Structure 1
Amino acid sequence: MSLIQLFAPNEVARSIIYRIGQLNLIQFRDLNSKVNEFQRSFVKELRRLDNVERQFNFFKKELDERGIPIKTYPYELQPIVAESEIDEHVENAQILEDRLVQLIDATESLYEKQKDLKQLKFTIQAVDHFFASNAGPAGDSNDETALLSQLESQAVSDSHSSNFISGVINREKVGTLQQILWRVLRGNLYYHSEELAEEVYDSKSKTYVRKNSFIIFSHGTIIYERIKKICESLDADLYNVDSTAEFRANQLNETNIKLVDLATVLNESENALTSELVAISRDLVKFWEVIAREKAVYQTMNLCDYDDSRKSLIAEGWIPTDEITNLTTTIKESDNSQTIPTIVNVLDTTRTPPTFHRNNKFTSAFQNICDAYGIATYREVNPGLPTIITFPFMFAIMFGDLGHGFILTLVAAMLVLNEKKIGASKLDEISEMAFTGRYILLLMGIFSMYTGLLYNDLFSKSMTLFTSGWVWPSEFELHETVYAKKVGTYIFGLDSAWHGTENALLFSNSYKMKLSVLMGYTHMSYSFIFSLVNYVYFKSPIDIIGNFIPGLFFMQGIFGYLALCIVYKWTVDWYAIQQQPPGLLNMLISMFLSPGVVAEPLYSGQAKVQTVLLVIALICVPCLLLVKPLYLKGQIEKEEREHQYQQLATEDELTSDDADEQDTAHDDDEEHEAHNFGDIMIHQVIHTIEFCLNCVSHTASYLRLWALSLAHAQLSSVLWSMTIGISFGTPGIVGVIMIVCLFAMWLSLTVVILVVMEGTSAMLHSLRLHWVESMSKYFEGEGALYEPFGFEGLLANVV
């Protein structure tokens, strides 16, 4: 990475920054970090563009509410959008917003009128139903029926007035209204309610609401006013309905006519609004990207400074060194200034550049795994490259099954082969995560198929691909323990003869456990070698001598020795020599607790070898602890002596007061250096303790490879035997039906539990092995991510 300085004349500064954004190469530094954001040069332009984006968000919200899709078909943008075109977009956006607001307000007003007319209609019908159902025949002795008939036929001075209160209220508030009226009026009222025939559309909430009509009878003007206030406090809509049937019929007829006319006007308004929104949807994304690019350009220009005469814009930024030529060529082609050319200078700096890893669609997902743990320090070993192989392989060790790996491979292959189509569509969070990691899933599936062949495991069943190395006896007695005879070596993977034997689990457990230890030792060893690469590159011999070499001897003297013993133990035919194979775990424990004593020897001279290795490991601990701090202390003292020599050389030129001040400064420097040495020592003590303990804990942590592999195999076996395995013993048509039904059940559970859930678990464990057990051996992760200015993904949250 290189730090460059850019001088661009004001008249072409915007176009230059625009072209740089198209290149996606420069990470600009903020040269105005001490300037308030509201006091920068282009605040006015950004506010105007923010307003346009607000208007576009308003358009999108209205489109989404009406289910009108936004057109996202490919479109072409000009290399540089003229400022006059931006002004046109700003003006058009304001015109469209005003027109839409007017149409929406008019439509909502019509919906509100329609709601009132519908509620009035339903209220009139409810009053008619109420009086019709309670009128009764003439001379009826029922007091209530007679009262209601009297209320309906009662003559008043105003023919259009009513002797009751009627209206509409939300169905959820009917009970509340009844309780309040009963308590306030002490039961001195008559209340009737019924449900409306249909839901009423509320334009404010844009939902259909269930409501009830109500009729309330009471006495006195004051009481009536009190009832109205209670109803209005519960958001009820009150309507004046006539008390006579004749006037109610006329009122209902007028309301129906108004509803018909209003429906026609409302339909025309909706069509006009929809047509306007459809026209907006065709170019909204295109215009939005133009505005988003313009906003990004001005945001970047706010990071830049000006020369003293304010005729040139000054910018600084980080760029990959091999892209400088591409940058200068592009700037020369786009520089239309006739007076002052745009200048690009490469600056010498001691600043630490951001970390940049060039990726493609295949490697980016693996790099994201490492970046999620921490951004690599500038130019240290990038863990993303080895992760391409080790991550899916660690997963496959825990997920080893040919069938399950095949299912995972099919899903990943579908995502890879249709990546353009799927990538162009909008995905939810989980689907987006799976699509981003499609190449990880593909390698995980392929590696799982490979380890499934090694384990000879296909949906918990073994395969006889080659001639077995074991032969069962042809004759044996009932209830007799039968032993197979070894006649050869199985060509590839686990011999199918182990499947179904009583000691199969015992054998596979021991085998996979030792393989997990070997895999962990290999993974940690090559990871630790990366620290040597970093030390050599950064020219730090003290880290090689004080950290790498003693650490290497400590690790290899204990766990390298354990790995070698595991391999050696496999090479010995213990049955042929009639000896019990020694336990390696007890051997390793007694190596520390009882040096020089071997209860069950693995080879001759084992006690001496283990004693030497233990002494070497013990010597490495103080080396790790003291070599680097003492070396750095010597460097500090050397710098202090050089500083004293400089002081003596200038002592004759100082006054006595100056000499006293110099001595005081010297004492402060000594305290400062002593404090630095203390920090170094504390840091080294922590590093030594962590390294020694982690060698033990991290090696044991790789046993998760064995544990999850065992759990996966056993769960697969149980699932088979508890589902489809039951159906194979049932003859006839019942057996066929059971096979079909239980196969569907087995396949569903296999995909959901064994592939999805177990696969997720294995993936997380593989992630932990890389983040903790591997990367902690060499990875500093103190870098800053390279984030160049560009126009990619500006509308990622829009479409």
Structure 2
Amino acid sequence: MGSLFRSEEMQLSQVFLHTDIAYMCISELGELGLVQFRDTAAGTSAFQRKFVNEVRRCDEMERKLRFLEKEIVKDNFPILDTGENPEAPAPREIIDLEGIFEKLENELREVNASAEELTKAHIKLCEVKQILRKTQSFFEEVNYSDGRILSSLAGVIDRDRLPAFERMLWRACRGNVFLKQAEIDEPLEDPTTGAKVHKAVFLVFFQGDQLRTRVKRICEGKLRFLGLHFFLFADRRNMAIDVMQKIEDLETVLSQTRQHRQRILEAAAKNLRVWFIKVRKIKAIYHTLNLFNLDVTTKCMVGECWCAVNDVDKIHLALRRGMERSNSTLQPILNGLTTRESPPTYHRTNKFTAAFQNIIDAYGVARYREVNPAIFPIALIFLLSQAQKSTNEVWSTFFSGRYIILLMGIFSIYTGLIYNDVFSRSLNIFGSSWYPAFDNETLSTSESVQLDPRTVNRTTDRMYAGYPYPFGLDPVWQMATNKIMLTNSIKMKMSIVLGVLHMLMGVILGAFNHR
């Protein structure tokens, strides 16, 4: 209860770690979470710290993981989250992680590039198929009886751009072209954006090389030009067969490419959360090591940290575990320092008290060893500490304040019942403790009657049950002529009593804080 009533007693400690065991010792201290390191190299810029290259490597690994996560989310692939909290990997394992991330990123980028090219080719062939299908009727309508052979050019264009394209073609060719068009029923995928777009097939008939050059130039500038020329029905038939065969081959290759992409994403999704935790822990360790001073002669790293006095033994055990994990016999050293600096305020909280402490800290953090006001809104037995994790910030806010919401709901019911008693009509929940034992004649002839509590032990004319109403105001007061006088008196006296108690509590807290 002392740690809840006041902040923990803190001490400034000096840590001596050999470079061979520094990484694992900081890893163990990070898992323990009971120390706050100070920057002993404040005069050194961030780019001159010893482990700046390691931090950059961690940033690069995080970038690769974010790329994998983006690709997984794009395909609506579930990311496995077992709630596992792995320890920070050893320094030699970092190279293995970098190799895994590099391999996954390169494979995924190659697959994406291949899939993009295959998709573009597939879309283009689908457009060619639509052109062959829609232009069949156009050629049947063209009359070649005068002996002149017309050249033709076909393509696909967005529906909303077709009127502007038609006007430009008509004006540029001075009306010497014949344009036929037909809308494609199903929307086609845009290779650039991936969105479904409604398109139309057009077929331009013209004569002469000059018009051919002019029409081709307009098409190349206005839309993605396909460059199809039709002369004989047999050519179009052979082209249709060839296009259908190419589409089938492309769909097979594209399906295999997508399956390979899914296998890569599936392998990454199983370990993505664990990888994120490992990389962030590695980065945090090197950030902490950058706060140390390095003694080049002894290869020893010297740092300072604040820790609670009650946790010194736990910190010693954590340092020893770090030494053992490093397979070294070099003992870490933790010495207490004497300082006049004001220590940081540390309140030990759990999942129940943390929400109340956060509310108090939002208005102002108490000074070191000052009375903690967070214990007064709690007023319940706090529970054991358990870990919680959530990726949603809004949900985390509600989750951390779930006990506050529960207590506020209970208190709102309590105040609502009191409000009914004082300002509205009381609820007769438990039944009145009074039994008016008057006959009808007495009630009709008497202007007022009075209940006598001394009849509690009587058997015939008993009026009082012997115990008060369990909660609030007894319902019998609803029938009293002096109800308003009673309730006004209670409200006035209770407000004075509660106000004095409130001020008295502030005076007592001030006395505790006075040193």
TM-score by length of 2: 0.78
Match of 2:268 in 1: 280
Q: Does 1:351 align with 2:341?
A: yes
Q: Which amino acid aligns with 1:441?
A: I
Q: Does 1:116 align with 2:104?
A: no
For 1:327-342, list aligned pairs within 5 A. Answer: 327-335=315-323, 340-342=330-332
Distance in 2 (CA, whole Å) between partners of 1:517 and 1:182 is 93
Which runs of no fewer than 5 residues in structure 2 stay unpaired? 1-9, 441-446, 453-463
2:511 to 532, 548, 566: 532
Q: Which amino acid aligns with 1:18?
A: S
Contact persistence 1:120–1:239 (CA under 8 A)? no
Distance in 1 (CA, whole Å) between partners of 2:146 and 2:219 is 21
Which runs of no fewer than 5 residues in structure 1 stay unpaired? 136-147, 157-161, 391-415, 476-482, 540-799
2:15 to 6, 9, 13: 6
1:155 to 116, 132, 149: 149
Q: Which amino acid aligns with 1:67?
A: N
Contact persistence 1:112–1:203 (CA under 8 A)? yes
2:156 to 139, 163, 167: 167
Match of 1:268 in 2: 256
Please state how far the C-alpha of 1:293 moved relative to its aligned partner: 1.6
1:493 to 455, 466, 472: 472
1:304 to 292, 303, 308: 292
1:70 to 71, 79, 82: 79
Contact persistence 2:14–2:335 (CA under 8 A)? yes
1:447 to 392, 411, 421: 411
The structure with the greater share of residues assigned to helix is 1
Please state how far the C-alpha of 1:513 moved relative to its aligned partner: 9.1
Match of 1:438 in 2: 402
Deviations 1:519-556 (A, max 9, x none): 5665455345423332x1xx2xxxxxxxxxxxxxxxxx
Q: 1:340 to 1:198 in 2, by over 3 A?
A: same
Distance in 2 (CA, whole Å) between partners of 1:432 and 1:194 is 55
Deviations 1:731-764 (A, max 9, x none): xxxxxxxxxxxxxxxxxxxxxxxxxxxxxxxxxx
2:431 to 466, 472, 491: 466
Distance in 2 (CA, whole Å) between partners of 1:450 and 1:444 is 10
Distance in 2 (CA, whole Å) between partners of 1:28 and 1:152 is 95
Distance in 1 (CA, whole Å) between partners of 2:248 and 2:203 is 26
Match of 2:106 in 1: 98
For 1:580-729, list aligned pairs within 5 A. Answer: none
Distance in 2 (CA, whole Å) between partners of 1:82 and 1:74 is 21
Contact persistence 1:16–1:335 (CA under 8 A)? yes
Match of 2:35 in 1: 26
Q: Percent identity?
A: 32
Please state how far the C-alpha of 1:439 moved relative to its aligned partner: 0.8
Deviations 1:656-702 (A, max 9, x none): xxxxxxxxxxxxxxxxxxxxxxxxxxxxxxxxxxxxxxxxxxxxxxx
Deviations 1:201-255 (A, max 9, x none): 34543443333333455672453144224413xxx45442525444333322221
SS at match of 1:33: coil
Instruction: Say what the alpha-carbon RMSD is for the aligned residues.
Output: 4.1
Match of 1:381 in 2: 371
Distance in 2 (CA, whole Å) between partners of 1:88 and 1:362 is 41
Higher relative contact order (Cα pairs below 8 Å, separated by 6+ residues): 2
Deviations 1:421-454 (A, max 9, x none): xx6665x544332222111122122223333443
Contact persistence 1:168–1:214 (CA under 8 A)? yes
Match of 2:304 in 1: 316
Please state how far the C-alpha of 1:320 moved relative to its aligned partner: 0.9
Match of 2:237 in 1: 249
Q: 1:324 to 1:255 in 2, by over 3 A?
A: same
Q: Does 1:293 align with 2:293?
A: no
SS at match of 2:418: helix
Contact persistence 1:456–1:496 (CA under 8 A)? no
2:219 to 223, 228, 232: 228
Q: Which amino acid aligns with 1:224?
A: V
Distance in 2 (CA, whole Å) between partners of 1:507 and 1:150 is 112
Match of 1:45 in 2: 54
Match of 1:57 in 2: 66
Distance in 2 (CA, whole Å) between partners of 1:201 and 1:239 is 20
Distance in 1 (CA, whole Å) between partners of 2:484 and 2:73 is 58
Q: 1:370 to 1:213 in 2, by over 3 A?
A: farther
Please state how far the C-alpha of 1:3 moved relative to its aligned partner: 0.9
SS at match of 2:152: coil
Distance in 1 (CA, whole Å) between partners of 2:450 and 2:174 is 100
Match of 2:5 in 1: none
Please state how far the C-alpha of 1:195 moved relative to its aligned partner: 3.5
Distance in 1 (CA, whole Å) between partners of 2:200 and 2:484 is 70
Deviations 1:576-605 (A, max 9, x none): xxxxxxxxxxxxxxxxxxxxxxxxxxxxxx
Please state how far the C-alpha of 1:17 moved relative to its aligned partner: 1.2
Match of 1:610 in 2: none
Contact persistence 1:103–1:269 (CA under 8 A)? yes
Contact persistence 1:470–1:486 (CA under 8 A)? no
Distance in 2 (CA, whole Å) between partners of 1:86 and 1:364 is 35
Q: Which amino acid aligns with 2:261?
A: L
